[in-house]
Amino acid sequence: MPASASRPLRQPERFGRLWWLPGRGEGNGLDDTGWAPLAVGDVGIIRALVAELAAAKVPAFAAPVTGRPSRRRGRPAADRYQLWVGTSRYSRAEDILRVKLPALLRTAGQ
């Protein structure tokens, strides 16, 4: 059986955000040509991070995690969200996550 040929995608930006991200979810209104996963967490914390990232001009998008229930307290996976950030600002997003996440976790009581 012959191996499949890899063909580079020309002009990926023409497909827009949904080329990289799930069809359902929410973003902060900023866009990028590439997206990378950054974190998975409770929906409230991820939404707060999306807002923090918007304030820092970092493209962010969050969508529910699909699949098996999480092991943590037996909660369904729907309570968990995946956070993606624009690859052009990934480093800045990591910095914001490091600074803001501890306070968000404290206020959420986790």
Total domains, the chain: 1
- Residue 60 belongs to some domain of the structure: yes
* φ and ψ at residue 99, rounded to 5 degrees: -80, -45
Would 56 be classed as within a structural domain? yes
Q: What is the pLDDT of residue 109?
A: 74
- Structural domain including 83 reads 27-108
Is 95 part of any domain?
A: yes
106 bridge partner residues? none
User: 90 lies in a domain?
Assistant: yes
Residue 45, domain member (yes or no): yes
CATH number of the domain residue 56 falls in:
3.30.70
pLDDT, averaged in runs of 10, over the chain (110 residues): 50 53 86 92 94 96 78 62 95 96 85
Instruction: Identify whether 77 is part of a domain.
Output: yes
The whole-number pLDDT of residue 79 equals: 83
Question: Is residue 3 assigned to a domain?
Answer: no
Quote the CA–CA distance of 6 and 28 in Å, as a whole number. 33
Pairing verdict, β 35-42 and 26-27: unpaired
